[in-house]
Amino acid sequence: MPSPRLLKTEAIVLRHRPLGEADRLLTFLTPHHGKVEAKAKGVRRTKSRMGGHLQPLTRVLVQLALGRTRYVVAGCQTLEAFPSLQADLDRLGLAIYLCELADRFLPQGAEAQGPYLLLLETLRRLEKGHHPQIWARRFEVCLLRLSGFGPELDRCLACGQPLPAGGGAFSPVAGGVLCPLCAHSAPPISGAALHALRLLQRGTDRQVAGLRLPPTVTQEVEAHLRSYIAHLLEGEAASLRFLDKLRHSPLISAERW
């Protein structure tokens, strides 16, 4: 389908990069046109009327006009900023990571209402600040499902048998769980972590909001998802390096993990 010449849509700004003297190249996530790249002219100047509206992690109403090679931002208006999220380094780092995942998993130009609403809802949860790690895992699992990479969590991917309650193994290469008999060298997954992953994938928002996990299970869920996502992206997300730095630097006392 050819790109419309004029596009007026709401969007979340996923990322920005400097372009030329004072311009920026922006990546938007829109509900009906998926990921859209557009040039915003002069937004790095102090007196730009649009610069403040086009920061990443902002929900905007944006007008895009098709130029010779790509869209150019013709107008924009902030619909929702997330000030509390942007003022907290840990949650900000997490939100940047989620935007990177959306940027890397979603194609340009394809309808993306599900991922759009998922990202918006997750940013709103992070803004409120309750259990950001749980909502980040929920985002990962649901984004994987919506982009066609949802991990199999019920039956062994080798023999097809239902997985025992005690768990089995999680294989990033196979794309889900393996029973203890077929596990071979795949890393083990506990019954509790498997239960948590299923709830994150299929539970209602209310069920996820009530989810309380022991630190060992949280770490296990995170590690399995991380290795699966790294396998799909053929390398770890770049922003994970910064998140790791925030968590593990001996100089920094993490407050919210």
Partner 1 sequence: MPLDLWETTLTGPLARLIEELHKLPGIGPKTAQRLAYHLVRSPEARALAEAIVEAQERLTYCSQCQNLTDKDPCHLCADPHRDRSIICVVEEPLDALAIERSGRYRGLYHVLHGVISPMDGIGPQDLKVAELLDRLRQGEVREVIMATNPTLEGEATAMYLARLLRPLGVKVTRPARGLPMGADIEYADDVTLARALEGRQEL
| Interface residue list for partner 1 (CB under 8 A) | 15-16, 20-21, 46-47, 49, 51-53, 55-57, 78, 81, 83, 86-87, 89, 92-93, 96-97, 99-100, 103, 238-239, 241-243, 245-246, 251-253
Nearer to partner 1, 60 or 186 (CB): 60
Closest approach of Cβ 110 to partner 1, in Å?
A: 21
In angstroms, the CA 51 to CA 113 distance is 26
Nearer to partner 1, 2 or 83 (CB): 83
Nearer to partner 1, 79 or 158 (CB): 79
Closest approach of Cβ 250 to partner 1, in Å?
A: 11
CA dihedral 207, 210, 215, 217 (to 10 degrees): -20
Nearer to partner 1, 89 or 209 (CB): 89
* DSSP state string for 39-66: EETTTTSTT-SSGGGG-SS-EEEEEEEE
In angstroms, the CA 23 to CA 45 distance is 9
E strands, the chain, are 6-19, 23-30, 34-40, 59-66, 71-80, 167-171, 176-178, 188-190
In sequence order, the 6+-apart residues with CB closer than 8 A to the CB of 13 are 26, 27, 28, 54, 55, 56, 57, 58, 60
- Residue 50 has a CB neighbour count (10 Å cut-off) of 18
Closest approach of Cβ 257 to partner 1, in Å?
A: 14
Closest approach of Cβ 108 to partner 1, in Å?
A: 17
Nearer to partner 1, 49 or 70 (CB): 49
Closest approach of Cβ 21 to partner 1, in Å?
A: 6
